[in-house]
């Protein structure tokens, strides 16, 4: 269903930029009416995630800054700043990202006036103890995605990667999570094992459109696919519709073959692999597959959705589809 851009990938790792010389992926996107602004995750030889900035006049040709704009600066993000999402509210950009200390991933928040210089950072849910992932720390809380406007005088955010939960705030700084999940896994479907938040929700005439990720199994054949659901315009805790089929899944070679984070052994395994190893593992059906979307915007006529996604956890791609096609899934 997704119409992939014919010149994908639109951003790749660069040998001349040591901080993102191995992987660039999982971008956030914002459009100010004139230019497109992207925050993206990059990994270099240190295997530490940093967040970079790139801009584009057309949403397709992006030019990154040579240095990252967000690098680890607190103990709770010492192993990486990952997977940004961004919204623009009342003249300020609000950025959620995943802070990783080498053991636990936690949802974090910062803000900026230009997406290059950032204000104070903080953990969103320091007392969270609801992770539903077996063997994971209870305060595992990644994937915050803020609704881009107030709903009934409150700000709302979706987060989570085992269930999808919701949190609310009066001031965009202090957030209170709701323990009851908004969305969870479904047996015998593309999201049978767990679900994870995607980009900030998008307002449509049917309600808030939420893009999310679904994982089908937990082994070397696992696949991250992209799905969608709708929540009520005035009550984001109320799910109105959920797709029965994914919007898209890994299909192209640049989506199927890459340095996949969820490979058995994680980064320690990836450090030992070269591209030829990835092709061999893929041919043997021993390489997980992943497309991961942190950024999405509506086209000018509001009828088409353009998504920006990490492909194979290694490159950045884009594609588009009609909103009505999404609602037919």
* Domain definitions of the chain by residue range: 3-327
Tally Cβ neighbours within 10 Å of residue 14.
Answer: 16
Question: Is the separation of the CB atoms in 19 and 42 below 8 Å?
Answer: yes
Q: How confident is the model at residue 132 (pLDDT cuts 50, 70, 90)?
A: confident
Say if CB 180 and CB 145 are below 8 A apart.
no
Per DSSP, what are the bridge partners of residue 107? 98
Q: What pLDDT is attached to residue 1?
A: 82
Q: Quick one: CA dihedral 150, 41, 163, 197, positive or negative?
A: positive
**What is the model's pLDDT at position 133?**
79
Please determine, for residue 329, whether its predicted confidence score (pLDDT) is greater than 90: no
* C-alpha distances out from residue 306 to 67, 137, 276, 294, 296, Å: 27, 35, 32, 12, 6
With beta carbons less than 8 A apart as the criterion, state whether 277 and 286 touch: no
Quote the CA–CA distance of 42 and 329 in Å, as a whole number. 33
- pLDDT at 299 > cutoff 90: no
Tokens standing for residue 22 = 């191995």
CA distance 54 to 38: 5
The confidence score (pLDDT) of residue 32 equals 94
Mean pLDDT for 106-129 is 96
In this predicted structure, the answer to whether residue 4 has a pLDDT above a threshold of 90 is: yes
Tell me the mean pLDDT in the region 81-102.
97
Alpha carbon distances (Å) from 52 to 25, 39, 85: 10, 6, 12
Question: pLDDT band at residue 239, thresholds of 50, 70 and 90?
Answer: very high
β-strand partners of 109: 96, 122
Q: In the chain, what percentage of residues exceed pLDDT 90?
A: 95
Using alpha carbons, select from 176, 173, 247 the residue that is nearest to residue 209.
247
* pLDDT beyond 80 at 326: yes
C-alpha 277/C-alpha 281 separation (Å) is 6
Reported confidence tier of residue 135, pLDDT bands at 50, 70, 90: confident
What is the structure's pLDDT at 287? 96
SS3 178: strand
Q: How many Å from the N-terminal Cα to the C-terminal Cα in the chain?
A: 10
pLDDT per residue over 38-81, tens digit each? Answer: 999 999 999 999 999 999 999 999 999 999 999 999 999 999 99
Q: What would the mean pLDDT of 264-280 be, rounded to a whole number?
A: 93
- 90: left (phi > 0), else alpha (psi -120 to 50), else beta? left
Fold of 3-327: Tachylectin-2; Chain A (2.115.10)
By residue count, the chain amounts to 329
**What pLDDT score was predicted for residue 66?**
97
- Taking a C-beta distance cutoff of 8 angstroms, is the pair 84, 69 a contact? no
Residues with Cβ within 8 Å of 123's Cβ and at least 6 positions away in sequence, in order, are 76, 99, 106, 107, 108, 109
């Amino acid at each position: 269903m997704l119409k992939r851009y014919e010149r994908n990938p639109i951003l790749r790792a660069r040998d001349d930029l040591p901080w993102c010389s191995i992987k660039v992926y999982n971008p956030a996107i914002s459009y100010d009416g004139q230019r497109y602004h992207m925050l993206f995750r990059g990994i270099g030889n240190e295997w530490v995630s940093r967040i970079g900035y790139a801009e584009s006049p057309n949403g397709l040709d992006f030019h990154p800054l040579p240095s990252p704009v967000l690098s680890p600066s607190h103990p709770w993000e010492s192993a990486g700043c990952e997977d940004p999402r961004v919204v623009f509210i009342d003249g300020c950009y609000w950025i959620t990202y995943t802070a990783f200390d080498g053991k636990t991933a936690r949802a974090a928040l910062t803000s900026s006036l230009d997406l290059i210089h950032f204000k104070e950072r903080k953990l969103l849910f320091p007392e969270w103890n609801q992770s539903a992932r077996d063997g994971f720390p209870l305060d595992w809380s990644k994937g915050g995605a803020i609704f881009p406007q107030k709903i009934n005088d409150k700000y709302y955010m979706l987060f989570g990667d085992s269930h999808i939960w919701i949190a609310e705030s009066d001031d965009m700084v202090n957030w209170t999570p709701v323990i009851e999940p908004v969305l969870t896994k479904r047996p015998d479907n593309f999201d049978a094992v767990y679900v994870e938040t995607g980009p900030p929700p998008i307002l449509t005439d049917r309600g808030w459109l939420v893009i999310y990720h679904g994982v089908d199994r937990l082994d070397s054949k696992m696949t991250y696919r992209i799905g969608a659901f709708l929540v009520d315009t005035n009550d984001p805790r109320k799910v109105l519709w959920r797709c029965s089929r994914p919007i898209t899944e890994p299909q192209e070679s640049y989506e199927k073959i890459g340095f996949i984070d969820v490979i058995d052994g994680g980064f320690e395994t990836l450090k030992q692999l070269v591209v030829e190893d990835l092709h061999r593992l893929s041919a043997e059906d021993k390489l997980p597959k992943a497309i991961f979307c942190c950024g999405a915007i509506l086209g000018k006529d509001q009828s088409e959705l353009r998504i920006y996604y990490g492909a194979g956890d290694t490159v950045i791609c884009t594609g588009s589809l009609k909103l009505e096609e999404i609602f037919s899934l």
